[in-house]
Amino acid sequence: MDHFLYRDGQLHAEDVPVADLAATHGTPFYLYSTATLLRHYRLFDEALSWGPHLVCYAMKAASNLAILKTLAAEGAGMDVVSGGEYARAKAAGVPGDRIVFSGVGKTREEIAQALEGGIRQFNVESEPELAVISELAAARNMEVPIAIRVNPDVDAKTHAKIATGKSENKFGIPIARAREVYAHAASLPGIKVTGIDVHIGSQLTDLEPFEMAYRKVADLTEQLRAEGHEITRLDLGGGLGIPYARDNNAPPLPTDYGALIQRTVGHLGCEIEIEPGRLIAGNAGILVSRVIYVKEGEGRDFLILDAAMNDLIRPAMYDAWHDIVPVKQPAPGVETRNYDIVGPVCESGDTFAKARPMPPLKAGDLVAFRSAGAYGAVMSSEYNSRPLVPEILAHGDQHAVIRARPSFEEMLSRDNIPEWL
């Protein structure tokens, strides 16, 4: 469920007419709904209400400070994967003891930054990383909580580029080696072995891979406890999928996911952490774009939009489907036409949809890409020197530009001309 609905024949974000924003701020732009963000966060929070837990929003999905502040005010923790994300979480007012740090390549600088600014736990992905965390924490006379990310060798049955839980993926430590690595971790100065971490992939549409992974985590918890480790937290990652197409079978709901967690690991008495990103932000955002031209080709018509692959890369990168809807509600029963929907960038990959049935559209009409809130704006770039796509946040009948479109002058001012030119 989201808060992007037609009202009086016009698409609204909560109580804000999308067309008004396009007229005032220009296109393309991302538009988020506060109520949808909060709704999704609360669904997870409630799904885990049977025990102690923290929902750590995976902020790589959408990391604008206004989005982070919205969630932080609800009590959300954050899952960060870089020093930049750590800085954003802190700037949004998230206390260090609600920030977990994930990622396979944390640098010494990033680890030091988190130790000094405060951190709930590092999710450690390798033995060399463990050694660096130990060295830097011990040098500061600290004992930092860690969870080791185990790779359970489970097939997440999702797109290969976002599957992370098979043994051939770069993530985590093979679960078969976990006991040895935990024993080593416990012997290191500066390290407080606290939990187990697992994250098997993104856009999962079935609970079964989660269940297989979490059962392995439960077994490992018991083994590690038998060996004397105090395992008090389980970080079960993110990955729950969202319905990208309206007519698809809906993926499992957070309530069912929470019940599965209770069933598989609830008896262990651990504090549960989860790291959802896509399910919190995905359906809380749309990308609004204007038709520049309708070009009639041979056997197909092209809708050429002012949004491009640099603004929303998911179709080019993951062959992802986004529902694309006109901002002006089509008349009931209107006959559709098939369009190839493309952007202006000079690559054939700049194609959002092929032979997509749409109500007839003309130059100047507005369209919205639904489910674009996660892995949308954060993956955008200025390729083709197209200004970074702006972001707007709706809240009831209010809205605010939460990242402005840069002017050409601002874009050019980031370059420096060497003195020899």
Which residues are documented as binding site for substrate?
A: 278, 314, 318, 347, 375
Is 56 labeled as catalytic in the residue annotation? Answer: no
| Rounded alpha-carbon distances, angstroms, from residue 47 to 40, 42, 142 | 11, 8, 34
Q: How far is the CB of 251 from ligand PLP (least distance, A)?
A: 11
Does 79 sit near ligand PLP (CB under 6 A)? yes
End-to-end CA distance of the chain: give it in Å, rounded.
56
Of 77, 83, 237, 343, which lies in the binding site for ligand PLP, with binding defined by CB under 6 A? 237
Does 275 sit near ligand PLP (CB under 6 A)? yes
The helix-helix angle for 178-186 and 127-139 (nearest 10°) equals 10
Of 60, 120, 216, 229, which lies in the binding site for ligand PLP, with binding defined by CB under 6 A? 60
Report the alpha-carbon distance of residue 45 to residue 175 in Å, rounded: 28
Does 202 sit near ligand PLP (CB under 6 A)? yes
Does 58 sit near ligand PLP (CB under 6 A)? yes
Question: Does residue 55 contact residue 41 with C-beta atoms inside 8 Å?
Answer: yes
Report the alpha-carbon distance of residue 161 to residue 150 in Å, rounded: 19
Give the residue with the Cβ less far from ligand PLP, 171 or 352. 171
Give the residue with the Cβ less far from ligand PLP, 196 or 327. 196
Closest CA to 264 of 279, 278, 251, 274: 274
Q: How far is the CB of 393 from ligand PLP (least distance, A)?
A: 19
Binding window for ligand PLP (CB under 6 A); candidates: 177-185, 232-240, 263-271, 334-342: 232-240
Identify residues 343-402 at the interface with ligand PLP (CB under 6 A): 374
Give the residue with the Cβ less far from ligand PLP, 14 or 110. 110
Does 239 sit near ligand PLP (CB under 6 A)? yes
Of 77, 276, 285, 326, which lies in the binding site for ligand PLP, with binding defined by CB under 6 A? 276
Q: How far is the CB of 379 from ligand PLP (least distance, A)?
A: 12
Does 45 sit near ligand PLP (CB under 6 A)? no
Does 102 sit near ligand PLP (CB under 6 A)? yes
Of 40, 278, 395, 399, which lies in the binding site for ligand PLP, with binding defined by CB under 6 A? 278
Does 22 sit near ligand PLP (CB under 6 A)? no
Binding window for ligand PLP (CB under 6 A); candidates: 18-26, 91-99, 231-239, 286-294: 231-239
Catalytic pick from 1, 226, 331, 346? 346
| Rounded alpha-carbon distances, angstroms, from residue 265 to 192, 226, 233 | 22, 16, 11
| Rounded alpha-carbon distances, angstroms, from residue 68 to 17, 38, 71, 153, 239 | 24, 11, 5, 32, 19
Token pair, residue 212, equals: 């297989």
Of 238, 285, 343, 376, which lies in the binding site for ligand PLP, with binding defined by CB under 6 A? 238
Does 277 sit near ligand PLP (CB under 6 A)? yes
Binding residues for ligand PLP (CB under 6 A): 58, 60-61, 79, 102, 199, 202, 237-239, 275-279, 374
Point out the residues that are catalytic: 346
